[in-house]
Each structure stands twice: as C-alpha cells, then as structure tokens.
Amino acid sequence: MNRVISRPGDWHDWLRAMLCSLIGVFPGAFVVASEAEEAPTILLDDFDTLLDWRAEGTDEVGAVLRWVDGVQGRAMCLDYDFSRASGFALARRELPLDFPQDFELRFSLRGQGGANHWQFKLVDDSRENVWWVSRPEFRVPKDWTLQRYKRRHIDFAWGPTAQRHLRQSRYLELTVAAGSGGGIGSVCVDQLSLQARQPLPPPPVPVWLNVETGQVSASADAQANLARALDAKLETAWVSSDGSPSSLLLDLGQPREFGGVVLRWMPNQGARDYDLSLSDDAVEWRKARTVRGGDGGVDPLLLSESEARFLRLDLLRPQAGRYALAELQVRDLAFGQSANSMLQVLASESPVGHYPRGFSGQQTYWTVLGVPGGRTQALLSEDGAIEPYRGAFSVEPLLMVRDVAQPAGWRVLSWSDATISHSLRDGDLPIPSVHWQLPQALALQVTAFADGKASEPQLLARYRLQNVSAAPQEIVLALALRPLQVNPPVQFLNTPGGVSQVRQLALTADSARVNGAWAAHALRPAQVIAVRGFDQGALMDWLPALASTCLTDNAPPCATASTSLQDPTALASGAWLYRVKLSPGEHWETALQLPMQAIDGASVTLGGMTDLDARERAVAEQWRALVDRTRVDIEAAPEIGGSLRTALAHILINRHGVAIQPGTRSYSRSWIRDGAMTSGALMRLGHADAARDFLDWFLPFQFDSGKVPCCADARGADPVPEHDSHGELIYLIAELFRFDRDKDALRRRWPSVKAAIQYMDALRASERSERNQTADRSAYFGLLPPSISHEGYSDRPAYAYWDNFWGLLGYKDAVDIADALDLRDEAGRIRNARDGYRKDLYASLQAAMQHHEINFLPGAADRGDFDATSTTIALAPGGETAMLPQEALRATFELYWQHFVARREGRSDSTLYTPYEWRVVGSLLRLGWVDKAQQAVQYFMADRRPVAWNQWAEVVVHDPRKSHFIGDMPHGWVASDFIRSTLDMLAYERESDQSMVLAAGVSATWRAGEGVRVQALRTPWGALSYWLRAHGERRVMLHVEAGLDMPPGGLRFWLPDHPHAKLAAPQASIELESRDGHQEWVIRALPATLELRW
C-alpha cells in the first residue's frame, strides 16, 4: 500500500509542532499546533434574561418570547403564528457592536415548524441600513445546532448608505418570515458570541508526505512522481506502482478554507472507488466525499464551506491496472458556493455547448407554457430544452452524427452547433417552436404546448428531425434528462435557477421517474437508455461512448428495458437514444408527455402521431377562442396585433389558478398593483371574467383595519406597507363595474371600498401635522406616508407620488361607486376628502419642485428624483392629464425623451432598462406626441426576445448575450403595460370631457393598405369596432360600427399628421370642435363613416 503525506517546510520544524507523546496515539497519527493564537470569544448574550428583547409581529401575525432550557442555562424562544396572515415575526434588541476586519458570529439554534425564511439582521443607528444572513425556506433543526456566520456570509440587505461594508451595528433582529411552511412554530437561540478571526499569511505550496514516516519521501523518484500531481500540467501524472489500494495525504501548510477539489486522471487510469477525507490535525479525520463507480477523467468534488489543513485521498479501486492522477486542484470558496457555482466553473472550462447557454456565461431566454387557470407552468428555452414545472429538471435535445475524427466515432451536436430560429403557431398562439439548422444539412424542430385539466396539466414536446440534404443520413437523437432547470443560474429571486436536484432517476424505454415521481412518457420507445450519476462522468463524455457501444450494427446488448440509480450528489442525468436513418427530404418525429407537477400516479400514455396532431389542433382552437375575443390587425405592422394576442395568452398562463401573477419563477405571489393594472388590460380584451375572479380571490385578504395588502398567496396577506395598494383595489372594483355594470356585486364590495378609504383617511391624517408645515417638509403635508411600493425605493421608504396618484384615483373612484349605489352621504364625505387630497397633492408637487429646484414632476416628494415611468400613472389610469401643471408635465416627458434618444443612439451609460416604459407610450400619446410614441413602439418591439415569441422580460439588457438577472419571462405586468399603451393608440378614454379618442396613435404607415381593423375592443360603453385606412394619397376613411353606447363626450377623431383635413361630405351626427390647438371631429351617432381629405 502506498502511503504519502504532503506538507511544506522542513520535517524537523514540523515535528517540533507535533504532540506525539499523547497516550494512545498510534504510529502515523499527528496533532498539529494552531498557526496563530485564536482571539478571545466575546459572549454577546447568554439569554439568561429577556429584558432587552422585544417581540413584534406584522399585521395579524403572532410573536411571543419565552424561556426554555438552553445549551447552557436558559435560552430564548420566539414563537410565531402565521395561521391568519403571511408576514414575519421578529425578536429585536439593542446590541451595539464594532466589528473587526474579519469575524465569526456563533450561536446555537433549534426549533420546530415548517420551512420558513430565517433572517439574522444587523441594523445600524439610523435603522435604515440592514445587513443580514438570509436563509430562504430554512428548516430549523430540532436539536441544538451550532451556527457559524462569518463576515463573508453577511450581506448588505438594503438601505440608503453608500458604505456597504459592515463596520458597526446598533440593533440585532432575529426574524422568521412566512415561507412555504407558514403555520405555527418556534425558533430558539442560545449563547450568541463574537470572535475575531486572525488573518492567515498567503498559503504555502502544498507538498506530499509519506504516511508511514510523516516525512517528505527520501526517494527523489518518489518525490518527483508525487510532484506531477501538483505541477499544473495535464500531460504529467503521479502514477501508482499497481492497482492496490493507495492513500495520498496532502498538507496545505496551514488551515485553509476552500470550496472543492478537482481530480484530473489520465485516460482510463482513474479511480472508480475512492474517499476524500479532511483533517485539521492529521489525527481526527472527517470523510468529506465518497465516490463509487467513477469513470476517471475529471472528477469535480463539491465541498462547500470546507476548512482543513490536511486532505487524504484513499484510492480503493482503479479503472484498470493502476492509478494515474494528473492533477489535484484545491478550488476556492467561490467554486463551492453552490452546485450552481461549481457547474458554472466546469462549463467555463468545457467546450461551448456541453452545458446549457445559461451555465456558459451567456444570457438565455425562454417562454412559458400552461393551460388557462392552471396552477403550474412549464418553460421552453430558446435552444429547445423543456422544464415541466417550477424548479424541475430539464430535457435537452442533442444530436449525434458519425465522425471518425472523434474518439468514440460519434460527434455530439448541441445548441452551439445550430443556427436557431423561433416561431409561434399562427404567429401569435402560445404554442412555440425552436428550429435548428445544422451544417450537416439536418433540421430539428422542437414544438411544445400544454393541455389537459387545470388541475392536472400536461406538457407535450414534439421533436421533428429532417434530412435536408441530397443523400441519406444516419442520426442519433438523444433526449437528455439533466439536473438543470431551464431557468438559468443567474436568476435568484424566489425560485433560484440553475441546478435541479435529481437524487433518484429511473428510465424505461418509454418513461422516466425522477425522485420517485412520474416525470415523462415517450411516444416512441428508445433503442437505448442510460442513467449516470454525477461521479460517473459528464453527459457529453459518456453519450458518444454509449452510442459507439450500443448503436452499431453488431452492438452487444445494452440497457433497453429499464435502468435506475440513486445519486448522492443529486446531479443524476439520463438519456433516451433514437437511431434514425433518413432519406433525402424525409422527416421523423417523436414526442414526450410530461406532467407539469411532481405526481406519484401512473403515467398517461400517448396515442400515435394522429392523436398528437389532434391534441395540438384542439389546444390551438382553445387559445384562438380566448385571444380573439378582441382582435386588432394592422396590415403594415402585423406584429402589433400578434403580440397583443400573445401577451394576453401569457397573462392568462402566468396566473396561479385565478390569481394574477407577474411571472412563474421569480414571482410566486399576486400583487394588487400588478393585478389591478393587468385586470384593466384584460377587461379591454374581453376578459372581465378573469378580472372578476382575481378581484373576488383577493378581497378576503384585506386586513380588518381596512389596510389593503400589497400582495397575497396561499400563505396569506403580506403586511409590508405599500400605500399604492389601497387606491389600486378601489380602482379595480370601480373599473370592473364600468365594464360589467353588475350593481349587486358592486354593493357586496362596498364595505371593502369604505374600509380602504377610512384607512387612507387615517394615513393622510398622520401626515397633516405641524411637523410637515415647516419649509423643508411642507411637500409631505397631506400625502400618504412613505412606503416602498416603488421598486426604486427599496433602500428607504419614500413619499412616492406613485402611491399618491393611486390614492387620489382611489378617492375619485370611491365617489363614483358611492354615487352608483346612491349612497349620498358617503359620496359627499368622500368627495370632500378627495378634493382636500387633490389640493394637498398639487401643493406638494409645487413645494417639492421648488425645494429640489427642478422643473419636472418628481417621482417622490422627499427625493426630487426623475422617474417618468412612475409619473405616467397620473395620466393613465389616474386621469389627471388636464389637471397637472402643464409646463412641468411637458418638461418631465421632454426629459424622458432626451434620455430615451441618448439610450437608443448609444450615447448614455445605460446598460439595461425595464420595459415598464411601455407605459410612457400612452403618456406621449396623451400629450399629442404621436411621432415620439411611434418611435418608442418600434424601439420596444425590437426588444422582444426572441422576437418571434412576442414577449419581454422584466429587465432588458442592451447586450442580449450579457448574462444578467432579468426578472420573470414573459413578464405579465410588462405584457399588460404593452397591451394598455397599444390599445390606447387605437382608442382611449379622456376623463376631462368623458369622451373616447379614436386612433390617436395611428401613423400614416399603419393606415396603408388594409390599414387598421379593431374588432370588439371592450370599453365602459360596450364593444368598439372600426376600421381605418388610406384611400389614395390624400384621403383617409374611418368606419365605426354600431353597437357601442355613445360616451357623453362622443367619439373623437383627428389626423395628427394632417390636422387641417376636411370632411368630404357634411353629416349631421359629426361635428368639428377645437381643442388644445387642434381640431377634432366628434361623432355623435353610430354607425358612422368619415372620409377626410387634405
């Protein structure tokens, strides 16, 4: 047996540091002295008294402190109760701390309850800046367990400070926020201490030691042989004398933190079975990793947050007659931060295409698949991989062609080898396809769609191969089941992207089970199936070998019935292999059906291709009926109408049952903000039923105080104060009534309106104080209190005008509701409050502009910031266009336009933007800036990704391949902003005269040919249908169909590019009026046809 130890320096220096005289120490065991004396530990709190602690719970969340027996003496328990509402419970105390350069906080923790979010917070004197250790979906250990938080584990959470490095804190907060577990539980803590960590000198060069003698080997040949495993040269290697068990011990010279070890073996000379152990003193060893059935090659070993001085590699079984280790690399902490981190490093060191695009440092895009009213959604990547449900594995298509230049005789073709394009069925339905064109004259099309019941949706993925060459071809299609989500690792919010744990994987020729649950059924049985654990090699390495062994004419028997494994790394993968021979022009197809949730039931078998075609047609017909309730067609810009229909479909898919959500991965809650605005878009497109269902689902979450929660989900209402929410709920109730005229339902909802108004009354009263009558605070008088409803104010709550214009709209709509219900006293009271609020709000705008010395409308009274996207809400749906200070209003959007043009022309420092800016299109339109609105439309339409899928992410990065968090995709709220602004270009309500303005955003380009046709666009006055098109060079025809109740202010129409156009023939029901410097034709009766000439 070979036994070797590695260490730096002279053996005799090291020997003096050993404690070899201990009784019971056997030969070969070592005790190593510390490299530096540890700093003293400071006990911060032993929890023998709770006088310094206070418990708090958010709205309707229970929070109580009590004593329990601790590790030493007493300990503190925080009991929480989320049974009535979502939110958080916390224990807080004042605990001033000065932190050393490096440190470690230690405490013992135990408790009981479900998976919730654990947060250890350090707060500064201002109480605005917070640092934390956040553990989402954390299950508190049942027994006392030591927690160690080092400086690197503590992140800056939020706050306005520019100094993100933690130097001091004043308060400590221990928080439990409701996670998926919710419910009732407790967290108990004891013995909180702080210890400074001494900096270590740069690590010395590791060396090997003989395990029998504890010395560097006296043999120069042995030293040279061992050194080859640390020389950073893959062509050299330590080679064992034979295949008997061997142990290699490495001394790193001092305690060292690291994240993993990578072993690189010479071809066919690796270890199939081995153990890696760690030690601080070469006496006590802890097994860090066990590998069984390895394939040699490269072995990445994830060892997150490891700390040791010694590493021991026990080699138990070789691939062949001996071991040959080319390189042992100790990787840094970043490598082992997570499985995602490790795989991203491996992807960067592998040929492009061996891993999905998102792991390879490139931005990737995807689209969503689902059924209306479903509670789970699938993803299809732009490269053809499918993810059947949130956080799940993916199935990635790969092709193999014969290539004698490759070691196994087969070449694997992936997304990186293809020219990729995209499409939707009929150009607008949520049935997407990915098209590969390969240099080998092969084409692969992946088409996916969802069908089935809302409670049991199924994902169908079709794979169509075609030989587009003039010669026969043999191809292998591999459908690889990988432990990787389509949702890429750069996505971190709510559902972290990247790795998906696959601990158990079982394949048959036509089915798969993942972690014990049914995962897939194949239309055709595969000729060969295989499963491999992570330690058995990388997918792209074993696939060609598998094809070479099993897909030749004289192949020996291979796994075709069933195969399974359990992978302790939870990174198992598998594949179905299909050997296909195609004549010129011939195509071949197979398909997978996957449940869109993890279920234990038996698989649902697929029918033949005819059945699959019928299912796809039926799904297409279902979606056509849903998206065509309203229809917009523009011959010169067909992408506009197509994107409207696709955006509608995505909104309906993104819902969780009836709960409107902005997305399916980064978001799992329903915001009243998104829901109200999205509902407004849905109603205009004929889906008032979806808006009604959402409203009735959300209403019960309103707190007893009248407070409207910002968001809610199955866990309950979120109590975070976001003061736009109250006005948004009232707006949604009023808007639904305008569309469905259901007075009985409105009466049932009145108590919610009244409670929300009373809650806003109290909020406003708190700011109508003497404190806010000073010169520096007068802009805050009468506003809603600061909140973080606006994403840009998460660092510190702000007096956001976003909140206040929503609040004003809530008062306005509450008056309308009270009038509709003939509640005269209530209407009068709220009308007075509305008028007082408007007075305070407009006075605040003037005071804020004066205080901050700006000429535009600020986003927040206390910040004086520029945020035109936020200001849009005052115009629509706020309806305050005519009331706002006109010079400041125009200056606001002139400044926006300057920024927009600079960004478009590459003259700004901007690297990204959020397509919430679609809202600005509607504002430009209301200002009469039609050309600017059209330019903005062209710009935003170009940023659909992929363009043919008619969708936007929440964040658009100018460099489409620069990897970045992009929120959810497709983003439902962005889709609703696009819908509302685009429909505004065709028809919008003008509050100032209660009219409807037609085609104000239609350009001469859009009028060309067949022009614009609008069918059944829903309005508060019924369904609007019209067509508008050019007739020759100097004529335009507008025809508005009957069926619409006439708005009090009539239908208004003019040609922005020809403001002096004349009506060809006078009509009694059409009048000409002057307004805002232009002339408008006013239609008073329907049907109506206008011919304008110039």
Note the pLDDT tens digit of each residue in 390-406.
999 999 999 999 999 99
Check which CATH number belongs to the domain holding 117 and give it.
Answer: 2.60.120.430
Residues 1019 and 921 in one domain: no
CA distances from 1035 to 33, 756, 1090, 1093 (A): 94, 52, 10, 5
The pLDDT of residue 203 is: 84
Domain boundary among 196, 211, 227: 196
Strands 2-6 and 246-265: what pairing? parallel
pLDDT for res 555: 64
Task: Say whether pLDDT at 418 is over 90.
Answer: yes
DSSP 805: H
849, 920: one domain = yes
pLDDT above 90 for 610: no
Length of the chain in residues, anyone? 1094
In a domain, 282, yes or no: yes
Residue 611 lies in a domain: no
- Which residue spans within 232-284 are E strands per DSSP? 238-239, 246-265, 271-279
Which pLDDT band holds residue 473 (cuts at 50, 70, 90)? very high
Rounded to an integer, the average pLDDT of 660-685 is: 96
Residue 606: the pLDDT is 63
Q: Is the pLDDT confidence value at 9 over 50? A: no
Per-residue model confidence (pLDDT) at position 25: 30
Closest listed residue to residue 840, CA positions, set 869, 807, 889, 879: 807
**Mean pLDDT value across residues 782-804:** 93
Domain limits at 376? Answer: 366-606
The yes-or-no verdict on residue 4 having pLDDT over 70 is no
Average confidence (pLDDT) over 551-557: 72
Which of 988, 1004, 1032 represents a domain boundary (last residue)? 988
d(CA 361, CA 490): 9
Residue 764 has pLDDT above 80, yes or no: yes
Domain of 266, CATH number, reads 2.60.120.260
Residue 32 has what pLDDT? 42
Same structural domain, 153 and 166:
yes
Q: Which residue has the higher pLDDT, 29 or 949?
A: 949
Is there a domain that residue 621 lies in?
no
Distance (Å, whole) CA 877 – CA 730? 12
Average pLDDT over residues 758-778: 96
Residues 460 and 558 in one domain: yes
Provide the token pair at 1028.
């508008």
774 and 869 belong to one structural domain: yes
**665 falls within a domain:** yes
User: In the prediction, which pLDDT does 604 show?
Assistant: 56
Same domain, 568 and 550: yes
Q: Which residue has the tokens 């406003």?
A: 764
pLDDT value at 33 more than 50: no
Q: Is the pLDDT of residue 626 over 90?
A: yes
Report the range of poorest mean pLDDT among 517-526, 608-617, 898-907, 913-922: 608-617
Q: Which long-range contacts (CB under 8 A, 24 or more apart) does 37-42 make?
A: 37/198, 38/195, 38/198, 39/100, 39/195, 39/196, 39/197, 39/198, 40/195, 41/106, 41/193, 41/194, 41/195, 42/193, 42/194, 42/195
- The mean pLDDT value for 802-822 works out to 98
Helix H or strand E segment including 921 = helix 918-926
Q: Is the pLDDT of residue 28 over 90?
A: no
**Domain end (from 162, 196, 230):** 196
Rounded to 5°, angle at Cα 478 from 472 and 482:
165
Instruction: Output the pLDDT for position 2.
Output: 38
In the predicted model, what is the mean pLDDT of residues 325-329? 97
pLDDT value at residue 283 = 87
Is residue 227 predicted with pLDDT exceeding 50?
Answer: yes
Q: Check pLDDT > 80 for residue 214.
A: no
Per the model's pLDDT, the better-predicted residue between 534 and 10 turns out to be 534
pLDDT in the model for residue 1:
35
- 615 assigned to some structural domain: no
The H-or-E segment that residue 1081 falls in is strand 1078-1083
pLDDT band at 199 (very low <50, low <70, confident <90, very high): confident
* Residue 871: other Cβ atoms inside 10 A: 26
Same domain flag for 440 and 553: yes
| CB contact set of 303 (below 8 Å; sequence gap of 6+) | 258, 259, 260, 261, 276, 278, 288, 289, 336
Co-location of 693 and 821 in the same domain: yes
Say what the pLDDT of residue 651 is: 98
Q: Output the CA–CA distances (angstroms, integers) from residue 153 to 105, 203, 751, 948, 1025, in the order listed.
A: 10, 22, 47, 42, 60
Asked if the model's pLDDT at residue 10 lies above 60, the reply is: no
The pLDDT of residue 680 is above 90? yes
pLDDT confidence band for 38 (50 / 70 / 90): low
pLDDT at 36 over 60: no
Q: Quick one: 708 and 675 in the same domain?
A: yes
Q: Rounding to the nearest 10 degrees, give the CA dihedral for residues 370, 371, 372, 378.
A: -20
As a whole number of angstroms, the distance between CA 479 and CA 481 comes to 7
Q: pLDDT > 70: what percent of the chain?
A: 95
Q: CA 415 to CA 540: how far, in whole Å?
A: 13
* Averaged pLDDT for residues 1079-1088: 96
Distance in angstroms (rounded) separating the CA atoms of residues 1056 and 985: 12
The domain tally of the chain equals 5
Report the range of poorest mean pLDDT among 402-406, 475-479, 854-858, 1010-1014: 402-406
Question: Distances in Å between the alpha carbon of 1043 and those of 753, 792, 1085?
Answer: 32, 44, 10
Q: Tell me the pLDDT tens digit for each residue of 972-982.
A: 999 999 999 99
- What is the average pLDDT across 878-905? 97
| Residue 616 is assigned to a structural domain of this protein | no
Look at residue 791 in the predicted model and tell me its pLDDT. Answer: 77
Rounded-to-5 percentages of helix, strand, coil across the chain: 25, 35, 40
Same domain, 32 and 94: no
Q: With a cut of 50, say whether residue 775 has pLDDT above it.
A: yes
- pLDDT tier, 551 (very low <50, low <70, confident <90, very high otherwise): confident
Q: Give pLDDT, residue 12.
A: 32
pLDDT score recorded for residue 23:
27
Can you list the alpha helix ranges (DSSP code H) found in 371-496? Answer: none
**What pLDDT digit, counting tens, does each position of 719-742 carry?**
988 999 999 999 999 999 999 999
Segment 493-532, tens digit of pLDDT: 989 999 999 999 999 999 999 999 999 999 999 999 999 9
Amino acid code (one letter) for 94: E
Q: Does 133 lie in the same domain as 46?
A: yes
pLDDT at res. 603: 52
CATH number of the domain where residue 880 is located: 1.50.10.10
Does the pLDDT of residue 49 top 80, yes or no?
Answer: yes
Q: What pLDDT score was predicted for residue 767? A: 97
| pLDDT(46) > 70 | yes
| pLDDT at residue 654, as a whole number | 97
Domain membership of residue 612 (yes or no) is: no
Q: Is 245 exposed, middle or buried (0-12, 13-18, 19+ CB in 10 A)?
A: middle
Residue 620 falls inside a structural domain = no
CATH number, domain with residue 387: 2.70.98.10
Task: Assess whether pLDDT exceeds 90 at residue 416.
Answer: yes
Are residues 678 and 565 part of one domain?
A: no
Report yes or no: 134 and 179 within 8 Å, Cβ to Cβ. no
- Higher confidence at residue 156 or residue 407? 156
